[in-house]
Every structure is written in C-alpha cells, then in structure tokens.
Amino acid sequence: MVLKQARLGCLCVLVALALPLTANAGFRCQDGNLILEGDSAAALVSKCGKPLYQSNIVNREGYVIGQRFTYQDRIDNSWIYVVDTVDDKITKIEARRR
C-alpha cells in the first residue's frame, strides 16, 4: 500500500513538472489558428499573417541559420510569442510577458 502511494506521488510530481514544458509547444494566432512546433514557416505566416517583428537567426560564424518571428497574444496583447524556424520548420515557440 505504501509503495503504491509512493508511486502515485512520484507520478503526480512528474506530471506537474512536465506541464510547463508543454505550455510553450504552441500558440494560437489572432484568428484562433493553432501553430505547433514542426509546422512550416509558410504555414505560420499563412495562418497568422505578418509578424510584429521578423529577424534572422545567426550562428557564431555569422551565417544565417533561420528566421525569428514575433507575434502578440490574441486576447489581451499582454504576451508575445517568439517563433524560431530552421530549414522552414518551427523549432521553438517561446511565450514572453510584455
């Protein structure tokens, strides 16, 4: 019985720790379209329109390796979403407070 409770407790802790990791896996555009990591950059612009900002991602050697798009929250504009793309695929979506 104690072992089952310990396992359940560990499982609950693991789930709670994993929730923040999945929170930034996607976002919704102004019109409600869902954008996820793995989507194409073309789909991002098609679904969400023109970003607030767009810039190049440059590696240490100075080569452009991708694009960074910034969109604002669709509800109250208190959040921005920074979307990184490499090889035309979304590799990272990060939510930031304004």
CATH code that applies to domain 2-97 = 3.30.1450.10
Tell me the per-residue pLDDT of 3-39, one tens digit each, with 9 for 90 and over.
556 565 555 544 444 444 445 478 898 888 999 999 9
- The percent of residues above 90 in pLDDT, for the chain, comes to 58
74, burial (CB in 10 Å: exposed 0-12, middle 13-18, buried 19+): middle
Cα gap 28→33, rounded to integer Å: 5
Indicate the pTM of the whole model: 0.72
Single-letter code of the amino acid located at 76: D
Q: Quick one: pLDDT band at residue 92, thresholds 50, 70, 90?
A: very high
Within 24-86, where are the H helices? 41-48
Structural domain boundaries in the chain: 2-97
